[in-house]
A and B are shown apart, each in its own frame.
Chain A
Amino acid sequence: MRYSTQNYAKALAAAVSQAKPEDGTRIIKNFLGLLQKSGDETHAGKIIKEAARTLLLQDGGREIVFESARPLAAQSHKAFQEFATSKDVVTLRTDPELVAGVRVVINGEREFDGSLKGKLDKLFAE
C-alpha cells in the first residue's frame, strides 16, 4: 500500500467531517479515485470501515462488542443497551468458545472478560 490504512482513514474522516452534507458523494467519489490512482482500491472496504470508526471516536462514541456463549435473552439485550449511550455503536456476537458468560470489548482496545473460558485460561496459567 502507498499509505497505511490508518493514514487513509484519518484523511477520509477529516475530509468528510469538514465537508458540507451535499458534498458527501463527491468526497467519496474523489477518495475512490485516489485509491485507484495509488493502486490501493482493494483495501477500500478496510479503509472506509476504519474511517467510520475514526469519525465515531471523534464524536465521542464507542464501538462496543458484546460476545456471549449463547444468544442473549431479551433482558440481557436491554441491560447492554443501557450500558451504551446513543452515540455508541453496539454489536452483539455469539461465540460458543466462551463456554459461558460474556466478554465486552470497547473500541478494540479495552476488554472485560467475564467468560468461563477466560477464567479457565487464567486458572490453568496459574
Chain B
Amino acid sequence: MSYEIIEKLKKEIEGYKDRPEWAEVGRIIEVGDGIVKILGLRNAVSQEILKVTTKKGERTALALSLEEESIGALILDDFLAIEVGDVVKRTGEVLSVAVGEELIGRVIDPLGNPQDGLGDIFSKTKKAERNPLEARAPSVLERESVNTPLHTGIKAIDAIIPIGRGQRELIIGDRQTGKTAVALDAILNQLHDKGRRRPICIYVAIGQKESKIVRIAETLKKYDALQYTIIVSASASSPAAMWYLAPYAGCAIGEYFRDKGEDALIIYDDLSKHAWAYRQISLLLRRPPGREAYPGDIFYLHSRLLERAAKLSKELGGGSLTALPIVETQLGDVTAYIPTNIISITDGQIFLESDLFNQGQRPALNVGISVSRVGSAAQTKAMKKVAGKLRLSLAQFRELQAFVQFATDVDEGTKKKILQGQKINEVLKQDDLVPVPFEEQVCVFYAVLNNFFENIPVAEIKKTENDLVENLEKFHEEDILKPIRESGQFDEAIEAKLKEAIAKFMER
C-alpha cells in the first residue's frame, strides 16, 4: 500500500510543472480579533482574496480597507495561526462562491463549503461556475415592473399585504413574534402554489443558533421543501466575517437563478445581526464610528444587498429575485437606526407585534400599519376581487373596535360590522407550517365577506372554515379550485358555482 502511495507521489512530482515568477508580497504588521494589517501589496484591489503563509499552513484573508500605507484585511479562516511578519500574497481574484443546481437541498457556509456532512457539492472534474459576492444591481432598463405574485400561503399577507416576485418586503418585529415562521411558511407554500413557476428558495441564517438552523433544515425536509431550498449558514459560533459575508453569498447564489430566467426567493434572517457584525469589523479596522457606533456606510451595506433583488426584463430572461429581509426590533421601536434604514430601502414591511401575539392573534400581523408598495399589481384577479372588500371591512372594524365592549349599546348595523370584523380576524388566524393555497383563500374570504358565516358564532369560525376547505377539496377540486388556481380568475361562472357549493355546505 505504501509503495503505491509513493509511486503516485513520484508521478505527481515528476509531472509537476513549475514556473517560478515574480510575485507581489506584503507582510503582516498587526493581527488580532480576525483582522490583520498588511504592509505592501500596493496593487491589491478591494474584496480581493489574499493568501497568508503561516507556520501552520496557508490562511485566506479578504482585503477590505485599502489605506495609504497598509491594507486592512478580514481573516476568513482560523486567525490564531497568523503572526506578525507572515508573508501575504495576492491571488488576483475577488471573493466569489461556487453556484449551480447542485447547491439545492444543501446547507453551506458563506464560502460555499458544505455544512451538512453530505460530502462535496460539486464534482472535482468539472469546474463550477462562480459568482462574485459583490455585484452590480440591475439598472433601470434591465428591470420590469413586479407583476407576478409570490404567494406566502399566509392569508393576511396574500390578501392585504401581497408580495410580488422581484419585490423586497421587510418582516419586522420584536423577538419571538413569528418572523422566521412567516418566512418558513413562504418557503413551504411554494410546493402548493402550482399555478406558477416554483422559485428556488434560499434561507440565509445570520448569527442564528445552530439548534435553530438544524430545526429549520429538518422542518424543510419534513415538508418536502428542501428539494428546492438552499441554506446558507453563518451560525452564532462562526466569526463576524462569516456573518458579514453570508447575505452576499446567498444573494450571489440567488442571482445565478435570477440571471438564468428562473425565480428565486431569498430570506435574510436577520439583518440586525448582519449590521452588528459589520459594526464589529469596522471598529476593528478603526473606521470612524457614527450613530450608535455603526460605520458611516451602514446604509450602503444593506442598500447594495437589497437592490440586487429585482424582476428582470423579458430581454434578460424575465427571472426574479424576491427578498424577505428580517429585522428584529427592541420593544417595538421601529424608529431605531437599522430598522428605519431598511424600511426606507424595501418595498413594504410586515409588522409583527408582541401584543397581538400574546392576545392569540397569530400570525401577529398588524395589518393597519403593514404595507406592500407593490400592492394589487402582485395579486391574481381572483384575489383582487375579494381583497378590496376585505381591506375595507377590516378598516371599518378597526375604527369600531373601541365599541366592542359596549356592543349592546350600538345600532344593528354597527353590531353587524363589529361581528363581521371579529369573524374576519378569526379567519386570518393561522397555524404555523400550514400554508393555505391562494385558491382556497379566495373561497374562504368570499364566504366570510358575503355573510355565509353570519349565523356561525365567532368561536366556531375556525372549525367551519376548515370544514369548508375540506369540503371544497373533496367535492369541488375540478370545478372550482382548479380553475381559480390555473387561470387566477374568479369569473361569474366560478362565482356562481362557489356560491352554490358554500350554500349547500352551510345547510348541512
Contact = CB atoms under 8 A, between A and B. Distances in A.
A110 B23 contact: yes
B24 interface: yes
A45 to B, nearest CB: 15
Interface residues of B, number: 22
B5 interface: no
Given A113-B20, A113-B23, A119-B18, A108 B40 contact: yes
A114 B20 contact: yes
Given A123-B12, A123-B13, A123-B16, A112 B22 contact: yes
Interface residues of A, number: 17
B69 A4 contact: yes
Interface in A28-73: none
B106 to A, nearest CB: 25
Nearest to A105: B25
A82 interface: no
A125 B87 CA distance: 16
Given A123-B12, A123-B13, A123-B16, A109 B24 contact: yes
A20 interface: no
A112 B87 CA distance: 13
Contact of A108 (B16, B23, B27, B58): B27
A125 B58 contact: yes
B194 interface: no
Contacts of A114: 20
Interface SS majority for chain B: strand
A95 interface: no
Contacts, number: 44
A112 B20 contact: yes
Q: Chain A CB within 10 Å — which of B13, B27, B53, B69 has the most?
A: B69
B26 interface: yes
A122 B12 CA distance: 12
Interface string A112-126: 111000110111011
A42 B23 CA distance: 34
Interface in A66-107: 105
A125 B59 CA distance: 12
B21 interface: yes
B23 A111 contact: yes
B338 to A, nearest CB: 33
A17 interface: no
Given A108-B27, A119-B18, 17 more contacts: A6-B68, A105-B25, A108-B39, A109-B24, A109-B41, A110-B22, A110-B24, A111-B22, A112-B20, A112-B21, A112-B22, A112-B23, A113-B20, A119-B16, A121-B53, A123-B13, A126-B16
Interface of A: 4, 6, 105, 108-114, 118-119, 121-123, 125-126
Interface of B: 12-13, 16, 18, 20-27, 39-42, 53, 58, 68-69, 87, 89
Counting from the closest, the 3 A-B pairs by CB-CB distance are A6-B69, A111-B25, A109-B40
30 contacts: A4-B69, A6-B69, A105-B25, A108-B25, A108-B26, A108-B27, A108-B39, A108-B40, A109-B24, A109-B25, A109-B26, A109-B40, A109-B41, A109-B42, A110-B23, A110-B24, A111-B22, A111-B23, A111-B24, A111-B87, A112-B21, A112-B23, A113-B20, A118-B20, A119-B16, A121-B53, A121-B58, A123-B12, A123-B16, A125-B58
